[in-house]
A and B are shown apart, each in its own frame.
Chain A
Amino acid sequence: MLVNDVPKQVENIIKTSCYDCHSNNTDYPWYNKVQPVAWFLEDHVTHGKEELNFNEWADYSNRRKNSKLKSIISQIENGEMPLWSYTLIHREAKLSEDKRKTVLDWVSKLKDSL
């Protein structure tokens, strides 16, 4: 994401709301020490990174970026992301209407520029 010159404000929202599952910088919570929660979480994060990993953004081709951005837009628009099971505990990750709009506007602009 960084390589596509993302404004600080958008970057902060994405880091707070997406990075735990969609980057290599997962900040595991205390309850990750509890089995079977840890397995459940690990599975989630692995799958999340498979779908989209911001650390690999620079390596995605424009075709791939376009597909990822389209999915990001659709997931946020439909309220499917961030996952409710995640925002239940990470209240700060929940996207307010403003934040939602900020991210969507920027992502759409980036997608159109590809």
Chain B
Amino acid sequence: MRKSNVTTGILAMAIITLSATSCKDKKKVQENQEGHQTEQMEDSGHMDGAMEDHSQMDHDNMNHGEMAMMSSEVIADYLTLKNALVSDDKDGAAKAGEKLEGSLKNFDTSKFSDEQQDELKDIIEDATEHAEHIAKSDIGHQREHFKTLSKDVVDMVAITGTENTLYEQYCPMYDNNKGGAWLSMNEEIKNPYFGDKMLTCGKVQREIN
């Protein structure tokens, strides 16, 4: 564990240095968090108020920001679920799973290219099944489904992009040492697979902007 903490530290520093030098004008998530560690996707008004009302989006010209917006609700619910698992909160995770089912259902793929639509539909179908199971399982099962769900969400973000910086993190010990990845808005590791048992096990693999 000590070794992995050192690695995490080095990685974290590398990422901070990189972002400080190359992404000066990019909005950093941390800026508007003012010390608290919530991971809610808050409308911060950084996109000229475009996020204020999701229902009134203009679908005609979908630019990068709009594509990312399509998945923001799914990502927000996914992160709520992840946080519940970090806190070993089975009921919270179940509730988040149920909410995620809803946001997956609302995901409008119609403005994406045909090829992207096919993949997104596949992802949504798969993720929905995981969300359904998470909504009605014990925490061990929830975590099993969360692992595959995380892959779905990572693949989704690869298509849609993300409004907020995400960190792909990885714990090599989960699932009989087969490992498990997840997404977080914080660089600091809080392990959703082990929760309190091994809260800081894992490392940042990638920063997704």
Contacts and interface: CB of A to CB of B under 8 A. Distances in A.
A and B held together in a complex:
yes
A74 interface: yes
A67 B125 CA distance: 11
The size class of the interface chain A forms with chain B is under 10
Contacts of A74: 141, 144
Contacts of B130: 67
Interface of B: 122-123, 125-126, 129-130, 141, 144, 148, 152, 155
A88 B143 CA distance: 30
Top 10 nearest A-B pairs by Cβ distance? A61-B122, A63-B126, A67-B148, A67-B126, A63-B122, A64-B126, A74-B144, A70-B148, A67-B129, A64-B125
Interface of A is mostly: helix
A45 to B, nearest CB: 18
A66 interface: yes
19 contacts: A61-B122, A61-B126, A63-B122, A63-B123, A63-B126, A63-B152, A63-B155, A64-B122, A64-B125, A64-B126, A66-B148, A67-B126, A67-B129, A67-B130, A67-B148, A70-B144, A70-B148, A74-B141, A74-B144
Interface string A49-76: 0000000000001011011001000100
Interface in A74-108: 74
A67 B141 CA distance: 13
B155 to A, nearest CB: 8
Contacts of B155: 63
A63 B151 CA distance: 10
A57 to B, nearest CB: 15
Nearest to B123: A63
A61 B126 CA distance: 10
B104 to A, nearest CB: 14
Contacts of B141: 74
A64 B155 CA distance: 14
